[in-house]
Amino acid sequence: MTSLRTVLRLIGLLFCGITAASAANDHFFSTSPDNLVDMTSKDAIPRDKRRARSKKTSSVYPYYNVLSGVEKVHKKLGIKGAGVTIGISSTGVSVDHEALVGQYRGTLQRGKNISIDHNYNWFDAFGSTVPLDPKFVGTHITGVAVAAKDNIGVAPAAKFIACRAIDELEKDTPESQITCMKFFGTMHDLNGGNWRPELIPDVVFTQHSDSSLGDVLRSSIQGLLDAGVVVITNAGPREEDTSICAK
């Protein structure tokens, strides 16, 4: 349990950081899945802070994983999220990205043969049975959580599943958010049936836009909490230089 709690604290910290950074610079998020491995905006991050090298080893960690303590947790405690499944609710995800494909729970590898099964691992409130991410924001967030390349991810040994609650216009509705929360809380297949609650994730990160006003999502979030899921959510930024992050 200590390992899980430590990983969750770090994930929450970085998600809050992403929200604050995006408030300060509209270009913080990658505009292409190919840019995931950078994970920073050249305009938002000073050149001398983009990478930080450990003094004791030759391993290079992104500076945010040094400042937040992720590097120490990985090296001193050996905690990288093994055994944890994280659900990401955002604009979707590019599951075939080289830094993410191995962390996708739907990736099945037998020897040299790799296959993908999206049942119980992907759902789209807007109807696509194949993972996609038109805005690449969800892909970026997933990378911060679990990316295995270049020490990008907070929990690179964890697995992720995803649900698209925000459309290609960066709009969401209470219905789309509730659809994704229901998916994470019941674990149904691509057709919405055949529940498998044993596959419920340990953690759910849910990103909101217009739908986060009022208490319309409270009961759905409470349902996840009652199921033992740790819920991390951010809302905003709604106004310049403001952001909200809650866990």
Q: What is the pLDDT along the chain (247 residues), one digit of tens a residue?
A: 555 666 666 666 655 554 444 444 333 334 344 444 444 333 434 444 444 444 444 468 887 788 778 888 888 888 888 999 999 999 999 999 999 999 999 999 877 888 999 999 999 999 999 999 998 989 988 998 899 888 888 899 999 999 999 999 888 899 999 999 999 999 999 999 999 999 999 999 988 876 666 688 889 999 999 998 988 886 544 455 444 444 4
CB neighbour burial string for 173-200, b if at least 16 within 10 angstroms, e if fewer: bbebbbbbbbbbbbbbbbeeeeeeeebb
Tell me the CA end-to-end span of the chain in Å, nearest whole number.
Answer: 18
Rg from Cα positions in the chain: 17
Residue 48 CB contacts under 8 Å (≥ 6 apart), including other chains: none
- 127 three-state secondary structure: coil
Amino acid at 76: K
CA 136, CA 90: separation in Å to the nearest integer? Answer: 9
Q: E strand or H helix at 141, and its extent?
A: helix 137-146
